[in-house]
A and B are shown apart, each in its own frame.
Chain A
Amino acid sequence: MIRPPLVTGFGSVTAFGPASGLLSNLEIAPEPASWLAEPPRRAYTVKPFQASTLVPGAKTRRLDRLSTWTLVASHLALNDAGIDLETIDRSRVAVLFASGYGCVELTGSFFSSAHKNGWAGTDPITFPETLANAPAAHAALFHRLQGPNLTLCHAGFAAEYALQTAASLLRHGQADRVIVAAGDALCPALYAWFEEARLLSPECFGTGPVQNPAGLIPSEGVVALVLEAESSAHGNGYARLLDCQLDADAERIRPLASGATRIFCSGGGSPCLTHDATEAVRALAGPSATIFAAHPAAHGLAESGGLLHLLLALSQHPAPGPALQLGCDLRHYFGLQWEVL
């Protein structure tokens, strides 16, 4: 019988700042995005930082910010897990990256250069960095990780699928450890799309906090975690991933909620923020369950926020025991059954 895998380390580069391990300051507010000149718009943005101060030797000048953050977050997660790469078989370490939009910043730059110079005059250095798998590739290249390297995309549950896939790789012996990273970066073109599609919260326009934002406050950043087979892990870790289930029928998620007295609201559009969805979660978990509501900064990572939801919930130090991470979108529920350690 293979024991469920453990989360042994976290690293993150988000609006909460770069961090190794759990987050200490959870009080942040959206700020005007510096890369949007006019008119001012708010978002949960990652402040510029020098990657090499956190990851000695990292050369990130030509990378998309998403690649840089993934490399840095992966490094911080490995450190937090206490993994010395010199002592392990790097061909047994996989990297799974999950994203909604991929490397939008350099994709935008490539379009701009084509607009300026014509399609025959684009930059050969930029093109490979526009690929969605560039972040996972850079994390592997820097750390010389030669296991499976995958990039998964989903509208709403990209991070959840990555966790499920990572557990599957471990279960089938295709890796001993998996770095799972998930996130997205904002850029003017993406923000403009949200705005033109009328998806933004009033708070994005600087009207001050609103009680129940109907829209999105866009967010950016990457959270990485190390998922290890119990036999490979050095310490206890933060949580054990017991099971995953996606289903269109909430009733079929119910078994995952069995015994769970803590519910972490997750991605897929995070309807846990709304009254109706909270009721749906209550119905699944029972009246005594403690619900950890989704933070708007994770909600704003609309497609890939699952790991940030998890990190924020664990950073509130829930008591050890069973927990359900639950996300819902228009079609599906995605449940992750955890044992908090």
Chain B
Amino acid sequence: MTAPDKTIAITAIGAISQFGKGFGALEAGILNGECHLVSVGDLFDGFKGSMGRIGALPEIEHPERYSRTDRLACEAAREAAESAGLDEKLLHSAAVIMASTVTGLSEIDSAIGADPASWYRQAGLQRAATYPVSHVAGAVAEQLGTRGPVLSVSVACASGSMALALGANLLLDGQVPVVLAGGSDAISAFTTSGFLSLQALDREPCRPFDTTRKGLNLGEGAAVLVMETLAHARARQAHVLGTLRSWAMSNDAYHPTAPDKDGRGLARAIGLAREMAGASLDEIGYINAHGTGTPLNDIAETHAYELAFAGRSRPIPVSSTKSYTGHCLAAAGALEAAITILALRHGALFPTLRLESPIASPTVEYLRGPLRRESITAAMSVSAGFGGSNAALLFGGPCV
């Protein structure tokens, strides 16, 4: 057992997802196996396909100052801060670390490409001012009134997990007593067009880890986790949802967009996280995978698990909950961290939806069919992204 002042406790989670507003909605939706991928045809001409979209967002003061990504982030952060019972003093000193890739791109249309100055005059400078990645964390800090460090992370689809890893480092460094860390991204024409151009989208609901998989579905959402040391949480008698036992990051240094086909970089991150926690191969009871549904990712990820869990006594249970929500980009790591904590709390191993013909592997058990109930003590969430970055987060129960 790690000392309480060196153990990272998760004391609240805020979320807004396809299941609805709130961590409770995420909890109920994922346990019920609800899929919220729907066909959309109005995002821009030339695109029709499945997406995990969220409807109208709650009202906010001065909405023109915030992008959709900002608003998703603020909604999740507000719930997280309230649920954690942070008093004004703690909130003032808290750090905010938010991941995003889309940021304010959802607020900018293609006409800016013709004449930027004219676009600014017509559409307003404030819309473009939401473009920097830093705007998301800044918006959360402004809405919550925090005065501690405010940092944004943008490492493609591994961003959300990395925000949590950096938050954990910051706590161990003693820089702040509390960190609000997570990720947020909205669906935008820019990003959808980019993935469409790469032929990475499946028009139908995605089938991660299926031999017939064709690509990913984009989603949107946000999740924010309140992190503090276990000692700090106990001192203020905070409710502990789970612990972040360890975390690790690596890079493939292999290709700008494709993962290392042998999964070596991701396997290294998993191994480092396991080593940091001192967890045995058999101790990890479930992996919430990156599992995008693209042909390249899912086979590389399978190879990573085969490398990282070679010698395990039984296949490692793995699933992709992107089959419920779509790929929420920088929010994915944070949302999936929340889902991994739910797996531990409920003893629930979530299946991948629509998985009929899983990739064959002697080391990996791709979960499918009905929800499996099984008590587990450690579960991992892994993420990877363009640029070769990987992250692995190992979670445990409330008291390790």
Contacts and interface: CB of A to CB of B under 8 A. Distances in A.
B39 interface: no
Contact of B387 (A137, A153, A195): A137
Contacts of B199: 124
A61 B46 CA distance: 30
Contacts of A138: 256
Contacts of B194: 110, 122, 124, 127-128, 130
A91 B268 contact: yes
A141 B268 contact: no
Interface in B32-70: 44-47
Name the residue in A110, A111, A149, A189 with the highest tally of chain B Cβ atoms < 10 Å from its Cβ: A149
B389 A133 contact: yes
A151 B193 CA distance: 23
Contacts, number: 210
B155 A151 contact: yes
Contact of A149 (B131, B166, B388): B388
A114 B111 CA distance: 8
Given A120-B193, A148-B250, A153-B133, A168 B154 contact: no
Q: Determine chain B's interface SS by DSSP, over half rule.
A: mixed
Contact of A133 (B154, B190, B248): B154
Name the residue in B150, B151, B199, B268 with the highest tally of chain A Cβ atoms < 10 Å from its Cβ: B151
Given A128-B386, A147-B251, A168-B173, A137 B47 contact: no
A161 B98 CA distance: 14
B149 A91 contact: no
A102 B150 contact: no
A161 B175 CA distance: 12
B311 interface: no
Interface residues of A, number: 69
A118 B46 contact: yes
Contacts of B137: 154
A118 B189 CA distance: 10
Interface in A124-147: 124, 127-134, 136-138, 140-141, 143-147
Contacts of A161: 149, 151
Contact of A102 (B44, B129, B154): B154
B23 to A, nearest CB: 26
A165 B166 contact: yes
Interface stretch (A169-177, A230-238, A260-268, A271-279): A169-177
B47 A149 contact: no
B153 interface: yes
B153 A151 contact: yes
A102 to B, nearest CB: 7
A122 B190 CA distance: 9
A193 B386 contact: no
B108 interface: yes
Contacts of B259: none
Nearest to B124: A196
A123 B154 contact: no
Interface string A316-341: 00000000000000011000000000
B112 A118 contact: no
B357 interface: no
A154 B150 contact: yes
Given A140-B251, A141-B254, A150-B155, A111 B389 contact: no
A21 to B, nearest CB: 26
Contact of B101 (A110, A122, A132): A132
B138 A196 contact: no
Interface string B162-183: 1000100110110000000000
A154 B253 CA distance: 25
A182 B141 CA distance: 23
A185 B135 CA distance: 18
B132 interface: yes
Interface string B121-140: 10001001101111101100
Contacts of A91: 250, 268
A130 B278 CA distance: 39
Contact of B250 (A109, A133, A146): A146
16 contacts: A95-B251, A102-B132, A102-B154, A112-B113, A114-B189, A121-B46, A122-B194, A137-B389, A138-B256, A146-B250, A148-B249, A150-B249, A153-B154, A168-B173, A171-B173, A332-B147
Given A119-B47, A137-B251, A148-B250, 6 more contacts: A115-B113, A133-B386, A146-B250, A152-B154, A155-B135, A158-B134
